[in-house]
Chains A and B, each alone.
Chain A
Amino acid sequence: MQRGLDAELKKQLDEEEKRIISDEHWFLDLPELKAKENYIIEERSYAPCEDLVFGRMSFRGFNPEVEKLMLLMNTHKEEEDDEEEDNVSRMETDITDEEMARRYESLVESMRKKFAKKRDRSAITKNKEDVNCNAVDNRPKKAFLKPQY
């Protein structure tokens, strides 16, 4: 006994339904109209026209929170104006870049030494100046010596 419809039967019924629905649909028999591109934009508010500032103001420290807000909102507006300009500002640093690089170099060295095996530790101190790995280490690797009774 089959419960429900067959897959094929279902497809047929669906197609018939679609056909009926699309026949019933009404549509306009007009050529396709392209929407005209509007190059005139209407703006109702004065705020962008005249670059009006934020409305809450406080002078001479009467309300410090509002003064902070004034700075925040007005510099935010200036930042939007300067977005296209190249505003890569150098942050003030306590140490120079060269010193930072030197520090970092020695830091990397010391970390490497810390996690290296005992045998490699001495190798690191020897090969520090060999940047291009020109000197090949030709010492024979120490193998396991079987104890002789």
Chain B
Amino acid sequence: MLFLHFYCENKSFSRSRKYTNTGRSRCFLAMDTIHACFKEKIGEVLLPGDVFSFRLSESGDGSIKTEKIICGPGLRRNGEEVQVCKSGILRHKQPNMYWIDSQQRRYVPAKGESVIGIVTAKSGDIFKVDVGGSEQASLSYLAFEGATKRNRPNVQVGDLVYGQFTIANKDMEPELVCIDSCGRANGMGVFGADGLLFKVSLGLVRRLLAPQSEIIKDLEKIFPFELVVGMNGRVWVKAKTVQQTLIVTNLLETCENMTSQQRQTLFKRVAEGFL
């Protein structure tokens, strides 16, 4: 059995706001009330320093099977509390994932994300790759498909690579790989002989990579092109002619601050101007 004690605090005017369930009552509900704590604030703007607290105390036997809550980016665990550390809107995904949807341009490496990197140096067995973070990532030459000690991959300084992070935390230098756990490349590796690389904000990148992205759907109606989107804010575009490439670049850079209506009118104008 899980007993939850709730605080009743009237600290609505203090800087750090605590979101709890009001009332001093002993409830026998399990994780539903924890979710209820969050659910009140889904879709609202939160500021760093806001705390979600729910104190749990066990009664009797210690083995309690509870569901897990997953705190995504922007939320941190602080003992038994969850603290907000970025300003933004609280989002929720079934069954138990919460995160803060925020905007920034500076990328912080995170494990499992696929990014575009630029090879800056070749030293011994590893390549140094610039991913836009505070440190350069290292990419081992064996982390390519079909690479062995004798058969080195054909990577030069200045090449663009699309890879995933295997190690990315604040204590160590990040490490990239261009194969997945089975040893297959799956589209990762060196790419892009031509085309143009440019930088956008991280919010736009997430909008481009969303499952049913409207921007992508509108863009592909204009003309055929190829696109590589890295989660570090870097986008690479290639189209048939230089002019088309520049058009796509400009469209992507400008549609960051447009509403969907404005974007659609702009895209229509471009498509008409092109035909």
Contacts and interface: CB of A to CB of B under 8 A. Distances in A.
Report whether chain A binds chain B.
yes
B251 to A, nearest CB: 13
A39 B209 CA distance: 30
Interface in B40-95: 62, 64, 66-73, 75-77, 82, 91, 93
Given A47-B231, A52-B209, A40 B93 contact: no
B191 to A, nearest CB: 8
Contact of B210 (A40, A42, A52, A60): A52
Contacts of A56: 162, 187, 191, 226-229
Contact of B226 (A37, A46, A62): A62
Interface residues of B, number: 47
Contacts of B227: 56-59
A73 B66 contact: no
B112 interface: yes
B238 to A, nearest CB: 8
A68 to B, nearest CB: 10
Given A62-B224, A63-B226, A40 B162 contact: no
A72 to B, nearest CB: 8
Interface string B210-250: 11000010011001111111110000001110000000000
A56 B112 CA distance: 16
A49 interface: yes
Interface residues of A, number: 32
Contacts of B93: 49-50
A136 B99 CA distance: 78
A39 B91 contact: no
Nearest to B217: A59
A55 B237 CA distance: 12
B223 to A, nearest CB: 7
B21 interface: no
B91 A49 contact: yes
B270 interface: no
A63 B187 CA distance: 12
B247 to A, nearest CB: 14
A43 B76 CA distance: 9
B22 to A, nearest CB: 22
A53 B211 contact: yes
Contacts of A40: 68-71, 77, 82
Contact of A57 (B66, B216, B230): B216
B111 A59 contact: no
A39 B69 contact: yes
Contacts of A57: 216, 226-229
25 contacts: A38-B77, A39-B67, A39-B69, A40-B77, A41-B71, A43-B70, A43-B73, A44-B73, A45-B113, A46-B113, A47-B112, A47-B113, A48-B97, A50-B93, A51-B210, A51-B211, A52-B210, A52-B211, A53-B210, A55-B228, A56-B227, A58-B224, A59-B224, A59-B226, A62-B238
Given A39-B66, A47-B113, A58-B224, 12 more contacts: A34-B62, A42-B77, A43-B70, A45-B113, A49-B97, A53-B210, A55-B228, A55-B231, A57-B229, A58-B225, A62-B225, A69-B187
